Amino acid sequence: MGDLVSVIMSTYNEEPDWLKKSIDSILNQTYRNIEFIIVLDKPENEELGSILYEYEKKDNRVKIILNKKNMGLVKSLNTALEHCHGKYIARMDADDISDPERISKEKNYLENNKLDFVFSGMIVIDENDKKLYEWDNNNFSPEEIKKVMGIWNISLHPTWFVKREVFTSLKGYRDIPYSEDYDFSLRALSNGFKIGKLNENLLLYRMRSTGISKSNNFEQFIISRKLIQLYKKNKLDDYSYVNDQINHVQGQMKNGQKQKYSIAEDIFHESIGQMKEGQFLKGISKLVKSLLLSKYHIRKFNELLKYKIVTKQMKNR
């Protein structure tokens, strides 16, 4: 039968069809020995609640937890972790779709390479299931992960497959706004856990026009850069200090900067897509436009360029 794998998910206001596709993609995994712990973080959402309890009735691997009130993603995931019994824990979002072999492949990769924590590549889709682009198809060893994670957050949260002891040792997620996954990954590295990445796309990631990551991408960028600084200074373990630093950078954010960053971000992604399609002049033109619109995109572009150089050097070894 194999080791028990706990899959954790939090849902709030996802479209019913998205939620069903997401749940089905886990229940139809080729690896069958799983428990699926789903937290409903909006108790008044009766439509989603009805769907979830129907799944719980049909499949004894499903366990539904109803928050008494909206608690947010971090607290909901930590609640799910408290109910896990598996040797391994996999993450799943309520609007994404897992490849049928995702858990099997991630488990085998982790065990064969003696790792503590793995993640995979993914394909980004829109709200109508249309493919937009692939999000990184490189594979990385633990040594390479250490180098890359100090530049760019490549640990794609919805694809995580982690030994339960890692979550136990780090005491779960911390309430770091919009960057709880980066904070967790960097703390795992700081505490000596080995992280690796498969070069397979094992998840369809839904890019929502109203998603949290999109609407708060400026805050996410600024806070994640502060986390990198603290990681390099080996100061991530002191949560009180980290929280003070995060509050400080949040206090310096200005609405005008956020608006410019958000617009520039859309233009930036359009430019990347056009260049991938061979429309280099249009792509470069939009890239320049995004850099001129937001000074933070100059920094982002420089970091992305550094990331590309480092990963290319790794491949050529």
Q: Which range has the worst mean pLDDT, 188-197, 238-247, 269-278?
A: 269-278
* pLDDT reading at 211 higher than 70: no
CA 139-144-149 angle, 5° bins: 95
The reported pLDDT for the residue numbered 206 is 94
**Structural domain boundaries in the chain:** 5-209, 221-315
When pLDDT is averaged across residues 155-166 and rounded to a whole number, the result is 97
* Cβ partners under 8 Å of residue 94, min gap 6: 9, 10, 11, 12, 14, 18, 19, 22, 38
Residue with tokens 């954010």: 253
Structure tokens at 41: 């973080």
Residue 209 confidence (pLDDT): 67
Q: Is the dihedral of CA 262, 266, 267, 271 positive or negative?
A: positive
- Mean local confidence (pLDDT), 302-315: 83
Taking 80 as the threshold, does the pLDDT of residue 138 lie above it? no
Q: What's the longest Cα–Cα distance across the chain?
A: 56
- What's the mean per-residue pLDDT of the chain? 92
Other CB atoms closer than 10 Å to residue 110's CB: what's the count? 21
| Residue 230 pLDDT class (50, 70, 90 cuts) | very high
Give the burial string for 177-187 (b: 16+ CB within 10 Å, else e).
Answer: bbbbbbbbbbb
User: Does 214 have pLDDT greater than 60?
Assistant: no
CATH 3.40.50.300 fits 5-209, yes or no: no
Answer yes or no: is pLDDT of 212 > 90. Answer: no
Least confident of 51-55, 113-117, 121-125, 212-216: 212-216
Q: What is the pLDDT of residue 227?
A: 96
pLDDT of 40 reads 97
Tell me: pLDDT of 121 over 90: yes
**pLDDT value of residue 140:** 85
Q: Give residue 297's pLDDT band: very low, low, confident or very high (50, 70, 90).
A: confident
The stretch 293-304 carries a mean pLDDT of 86
Per-residue pLDDT band for 90 (boundaries 50, 70, 90) equals very high
**From 122-126, 131-135, 260-264, the region with the lowest mean pLDDT:** 131-135
pLDDT higher than threshold 60 for residue 213: no
Q: pLDDT digits over 177-207, tens only? A: 999 999 999 999 999 999 999 999 999 999 8
Q: Give the pairing type, strands 195-206 and 117-125.
A: parallel
Tell the burial category of 61 from Cβ atoms under 10 Å away from its Cβ (0-12, 13-18, 19+).
middle
Distance CA 294, CA 297 (A): 5
CB 153 within 8 A of CB 197: no
Q: What's the pLDDT band for 233 if we cut at 50, 70, 90? A: very high
Residue 259 has what pLDDT?
87
Q: At residue 39, does pLDDT exceed 60?
A: yes
Cβ-Cβ contacts under 8 Å for 21 (sequence gap 6 or more): 97
How sure is the predictor about 210, in pLDDT bands with cuts at 50, 70 and 90? low
Average pLDDT, stretch 67-91? 97
